[in-house]
């Protein structure tokens, strides 16, 4: 195994430079939030049990299709610029290591089911005794209280409970589960905003505090217009397939090539006429439009299926018609816009080699983001954290290893 350059513990750049984070998050919702900190200069130490590593490590896709604890692209994308240490959290003596980490940190982040941190003696009241200025961020599916607080669940259940499934799909079919876990993608943005507000409060007052978030409540924010409309009109939003009220055309249509599709919308008569000019057969399209939504979709599909999706997108855009190719992952990595904006960051990983990592979706003019190094292998930086951050000597580290606390 080739050696990686040793990451700097105290980065000099980034808007969060100097911020210290003890990261106990796992899976997706929590790590996505702390990635925004690490990629912007914070020193983020991911604490992971080698007996029960982050479950995302066990999920593909794996590099070269070879499973391995350090070979998951899913895990990698959420953990750039983080230091990784491996501790047996089930061992009561692990607190001899964790207490100094809490004393060092500005923020403790966790995304376990409520009660797990308390079981380890790491509930907020215990943390505050170690570090009175600590800010604790807790993210869970159902929130810290309520009748389902300790019930297990993942993003697929979260987005269903938030109301997304009931509105996704076609009216004559069962609800369709959106691809991926929306709650895992939506909630980190709210979590990060709340955390930053707590940091501002501490800067003004010196007070730390516990920030607690329900991923379901965060996801339900996506449906605010529908909830308001229901209260005002009594009409409940239902599944409508690809149709959109008010648009003449709104759908995803097949194109030439294997699994090639394009999304097209025509909101008004000007865009409709422009789309007809791009596709040709204006009389056929007009007749189909008069017959209803489904005949119109079928007529458009019969024309688009013969066309290259990227050429059609360019023609639509030139004509003033909103259109976008349904990009595959391979398309995104080679997309001209992403390349021009330098969205992907190539980083070298000791086992997976050079991969492109998602960069931030925003740009700081004065304090640019920087993905400093690839995701950590399990326990990769344990010794570095123990010595440079926590101040343990070699003899203490050897003792912890002998006792099975460190890997």
184 is annotated as an active-site residue: yes
Q: Which of 184, 297, 335, 394 is the catalytic position?
A: 184
286 membership: H or E segment, kind and range: helix 282-291
In which residue are the tokens 């929130």 written?
143
Cα distances from 13 to residues 36, 268, 367, in angstroms, run: 14, 48, 7
**C-alpha–C-alpha distance, residues 203 and 207, integer Å:** 8
355 membership: H or E segment, kind and range: strand 353-358
**C-alpha–C-alpha distance, residues 130 and 99, integer Å:** 7
In which residue are the tokens 């009931």 written?
166
| Cβ contacts of 351 within 8 Å, gap of 6 or more | 1, 63, 68, 70, 71, 377
Beta carbons of 281 and 306 less than 8 angstroms apart: no
Could you give the count of Cα atoms lying within 13 Å of 231 in the half-sphere of its Cβ?
6
Residue 290 tokens, joined: 């008069």
Beta carbons of 33 and 388 less than 8 angstroms apart: no
SS3 content of the chain, % helix, strand, coil (to 5): 40, 15, 45
**324 beta partners:** 263
User: Can you point out the beta strands (E) in 121-267?
Assistant: 135-140, 210-214, 249-254, 261-266
**C-alpha–C-alpha distance, residues 326 and 254, integer Å:** 10
- Length of the chain, please? 407
| Cβ contacts of 222 within 8 Å, gap of 6 or more | 162, 164, 182, 186
Kindly provide the b/e burial profile for residues 312-340, where b requires at least 16 CB atoms within 10 angstroms of the residue's own CB. Answer: bbebbeebebbbebeeeeeeeeeeeebee
| Cβ contacts of 5 within 8 Å, gap of 6 or more | 373
Q: Which residues are catalytic?
A: 184
């Amino acid at each position: 195994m080739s050696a990686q350059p040793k990451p700097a513990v105290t980065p000099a750049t980034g808007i969060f430079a100097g911020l210290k984070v003890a990261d106990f998050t796992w899976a997706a919702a929590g790590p996505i939030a702390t990635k925004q900190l690490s990629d912007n200069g914070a020193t983020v130490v991911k604490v992971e049990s080698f007996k029960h590593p982050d479950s995302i490590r066990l999920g593909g896709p794996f590099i070269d299709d070879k499973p391995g604890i350090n070979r998951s692209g899913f895990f990698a994308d959420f953990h750039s610029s983080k230091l990784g240490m491996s501790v047996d959290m089930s061992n009561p003596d692990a607190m001899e290591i964790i207490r100094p980490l809490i004393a060092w940190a500005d923020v403790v982040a966790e995304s376990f089911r409520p009660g797990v941190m308390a079981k380890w003696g790491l509930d907020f009241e215990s943390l505050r005794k170690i570090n009175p200025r600590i800010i604790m961020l807790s993210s869970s599916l159902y929130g810290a209280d309520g009748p389902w607080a300790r019930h297990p669940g993942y993003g697929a259940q979260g987005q269903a409970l938030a109301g997304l499934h009931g509105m996704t799909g076609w009216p004559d079919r069962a609800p369709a589960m959106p691809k991926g876990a929306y709650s895992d993608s939506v909630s980190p943005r709210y979590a990060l905003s709340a955390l930053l507000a707590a940091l501002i409060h501490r800067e003004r007052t010196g007070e730390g505090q516990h920030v607690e978030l329900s991923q379901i409540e965060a996801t339900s924010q996506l449906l605010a217009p529908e909830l308001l409309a229901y209260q005002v009109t009594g009409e409940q939003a239902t599944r409508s397939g690809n149709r959109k009220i008010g648009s003449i055309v709104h759908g995803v249509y097949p194109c030439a090539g294997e699994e090639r599709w394009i999304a097209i919308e025509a909101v008004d008569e000007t865009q409709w006429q422009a789309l007809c000019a791009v596709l040709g057969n204006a009389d056929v399209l007009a007749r189909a439009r008069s017959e209803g939504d489904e005949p119109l979709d079928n007529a458009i599909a019969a024309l688009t299926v013969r066309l290259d999706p990227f050429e059609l997108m360019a023609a639509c855009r030139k004509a003033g018609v909103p259109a976008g190719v349904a990009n595959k992952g391979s398309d995104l990595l080679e997309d001209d816009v992403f390349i021009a904006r330098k969205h992907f960051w190539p980083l070298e990983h000791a086992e997976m080699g050079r991969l492109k990592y998602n960069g931030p979706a925003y740009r700081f003019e004065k304090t640019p983001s920087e993905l400093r190094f690839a995701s950590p292998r399990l326990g990769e930086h344990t010794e570095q954290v123990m010595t440079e951050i926590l101040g343990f000597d070699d003899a203490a580290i050897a003792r912890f290893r002998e006792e099975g606390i460190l890997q």
